Amino acid sequence: MVESTGIEVIAVGAGFAGLTAAIECVRHGHKVTLLESFPDVKALGDIISFGANAGRIFKRWDGVEEKLDRICLNTKGINFKTYLGEDVYYQEWTPEETFGKPFNGHRGEIHEIVYEYAQKVGVNIILGHRVTDYFETETEAGVIANGQRFTADVVFAADGVRSKGRQIVLGYDDKPKSSGYAIFRTWFPSDKLANNPLTKFMCENGDNHCAWLGPDIHFIAATIKGGKDFSWVCTHKDEADIEESWQTPGKIEDALKVLEGWDPAVLEIVKATPPESLVDWKLVYRDPLPTWVSPKSRIALIGDAAHPFLPTSIQGASQAMEDGATLAVCLELAGKSDVALAILAYEKIRYQRVLMTQKTGESTREKWHKADFANLKEKPDTIKLQRGEWMLGHDAEKHAYEVYAETIASLDR
Ligand SMILES: Cc1cc2nc3c(=O)[nH]c(=O)nc-3n(C[C@H](O)[C@H](O)[C@H](O)COP(=O)(O)OP(=O)(O)OC[C@H]3O[C@@H](n4cnc5c(N)ncnc54)[C@H](O)[C@@H]3O)c2cc1C
């Protein structure tokens, strides 16, 4: 049993940012109340990726790794093809001994495991409470949810891309911009594909992962759970109105139009997709925020609320988890009398790293969409995912312990 620090935390939002921050805070002796607007927990979403940097955090949670192993993708690498179906390159994942273990699987299923773990360790989770306002004084911070007032020493706004918490931090409402891209996404049983000669290669011999690259479009498919489940995502140009909902329905005919002239295997995959499972999600862009911390330093934005990621970074959920691991350590080292200092240290420790990681989303998309498709086989290095030790080998908890003292010494207060 860890010693109590007496620090009380409110986390808003039970996504991976809020849940991780809550679990990590409990691990470090703080008391957490978590408010979530959804009235119940549903297995929403489709495929989501956690890099080894997030895997390191999961691994510290008793019994969670074993549960994740049962539902997560189990591949040694990813096969790159051109949009016409020509094999280009097989990129092997870095071995687990090098940087650690990634976890990729169904967002809803992974979420359920993490949610249950948060309950088990004693996070006070209150569902069906939409936060409508944030406030802070020199001595406390709080929120209004369902007309009720909640107060604590600090508040983490983990309320996602449409964050209400941004208002108090920035002093204005910031508007999302269109990135010019949208993404079709889906998840469904693979039976039909396993029986189709053009697509069965994806369902044989356990899990498979394959990416097709074309001019300004990429299509990534994966089989999970020994080839039984199937997921694909397709990022494509889109100038339509910005919709940030995961629930926006997609149309099979629209996806086929976008992929006209592509490898027949890709077209078969799209045709086999249950229409009701297809989502068309517009990818919004937001300029990096000047700060993630409120004027009195008692409210911190975390996860997508602070820094939305493009899917091509493959790091959005992982960085959201790193935020929570960092905050828990900063609060422990600062102590109850200095929580505002902990929040400032969190921002300083995380800001540049997050910016660097966010940039990889754009650079990967650019190199995939603007590749020299006719000569790709000779130049596989131009499309390889570059995810080095700085990103995947990072241990957010250890790093926070190492740099906290020098960070607070360097703060301009
Ligand atoms: C329903 C859903 C499905 C998703 N599916 C996928 C997927 O398939 N693949 C993928 O890569 N990413 C998916 N994402 C996004 C991904 O989970 C995040 O980008 C990433 O994990 C960072 O998480 P986050 O906790 O910062 O934000 P989010 O995951 O967006 O979590 C924010 C949470 O805050 C809650 N919330 C928002 N406003 C309030 C409020 N005012 N009061 C109380 N609670 C509030 C939301 O209901 C949500 O639970 C999904 C997100 C959601 C919410």
Catalytic residue IDs: 185
The verdict on residue 91 lying in a domain is no
Cα–ligand 1 centroid distance for 107 (angstroms):
10
Is residue 17 within 6 Å of ligand 1 at its C-beta? Answer: yes
Task: Identify whether 368 is part of a domain.
Answer: yes
Determine, yes or no, domain membership for 80.
no
Could you tell me if 371 and 386 lie in one domain?
yes
Q: Give the position, in ligand 1's atom list, of the atom nearest the Cα of 35.
A: 43
pLDDT of residue 413: 67
160 ligand 1 Cβ < 6 A: yes
Same domain for 157 and 25? yes
239 shares its domain with 146? no
Query: How remote is the C-alpha of 237 from its chain's centroid?
Result: 22
* CB-ligand 1 contact for 156 (6 Å cutoff): no
> Residue range 65-71: average pLDDT?
96
**What is the DSSP-derived secondary structure letter of residue 78?**
E
Closest protein CA for atom 1 of ligand 1:
44
Nearest ligand 1 atom to the CA of 303 is 26
Q: Are residues 135 and 22 both part of a single domain? A: yes
**Distance, CA 160 to ligand 1 centroid (Å)?**
5
Our answer on whether the CB atom of 233 is closer than 6 Å to any ligand 1 atom is: no
CATH label of the domain that carries residue 251: 3.30.9.30
For residue 242, pLDDT beyond 70: no
Do 166 and 45 share a domain, yes or no?
yes
pLDDT at 13: 98
29/142 same-domain check = yes
Tell which atom from ligand 1 comes closest to the C-alpha of 159. 34
Same domain, 279 and 321: no
Last residue of a domain, one of 285, 318, 353: 285
The domain boundary, picked from 259, 285, 311, lies at 285
Atom of ligand 1 nearest to the CA of 129: 43
**Coil, helix or strand for 412?**
coil
Can you give the CATH number for the domain in which 108 is found? Answer: 3.50.50.60
The verdict on 145 and 260 lying in the same domain is no
CA distance 13 to 1: 26
pLDDT in the model for residue 362? 87
Taking only the tens place, the pLDDT of each residue in 15-24 is 999 999 999 9
Q: Residue 403: its pLDDT value, please? A: 98
Residue scoring higher pLDDT (285 or 368): 368
Query: Are 33 and 112 contained in the same domain?
Result: yes
Give how far Cα 286 sits from Cα of 49, 300, 369, Å: 21, 18, 21
Q: Which of 144-153, 177-186, 258-267 has the lowest mean pLDDT?
A: 177-186
- Ligand 1 centre and the CA of 9: distance in Å? 20
> Does residue 361 line the site of ligand 1, with CB under 6 A?
no
The answer on pLDDT for 324 being more than 80 is yes
Q: Is 266 within a domain?
A: yes
377 C-alpha to center of ligand 1: Å? 38
Residues 6+ apart with CB under 8 A from 188: 229, 230, 231, 273, 274, 277
Is 113 a domain residue? yes
Would residue 56 count as lying in a domain?
yes
Domain region containing 148: 8-74+103-174+287-410
Same domain, 212 and 349: no
pLDDT at 274 over 90: yes
Q: What is the pLDDT of residue 246?
A: 64
Give 15 Cα–ligand 1 centroid separation in angstroms: 5
d(CA 19, ligand 1 centre) in Å = 11
- Measured by CA distance, the residue closest to atom 4 of ligand 1 is 45
Average pLDDT over residues 250-268: 97
Give the atom of ligand 1 at the shortest distance from the alpha carbon of 308: 19
Confidence tier at 45 by pLDDT (50, 70, 90):
confident
Q: 280 with 334, same domain?
A: no
Does residue 211 contact residue 82 with C-beta atoms inside 8 Å? no
Total tally of structural domains belonging to the chain = 2
Q: Is residue 366 part of a domain?
A: yes
pLDDT at 137 over 90: yes
Determine whether the shortest distance from the Cβ of 46 to ligand 1 is under 6 A. Answer: yes
> Does residue 220 surpass a pLDDT of 80?
yes
When pLDDT is averaged across residues 48-52 and rounded to a whole number, the result is 95
Same domain? For 115 and 217 the reply is no
Closest CA to 20 of 124, 114, 155: 114
pLDDT tens track for 399-411: 999 999 999 999 9
What pLDDT score was predicted for residue 304? 94
Task: Say what the pLDDT of residue 245 is.
Answer: 65
Is the C-beta atom of 100 inside 6 A of ligand 1?
Answer: no
Residue nearest to atom 5 of ligand 1 (CA): 45
| DSSP3 helix / strand / coil % (the chain, rounded to 5) | 40, 25, 35
Out of 285, 316, 335, pick the residue that ends a domain. Answer: 285
Mean of the per-residue pLDDT values for the chain? 93
pLDDT, greater one: 413 or 296: 296
Residue 89 belongs to a domain: no
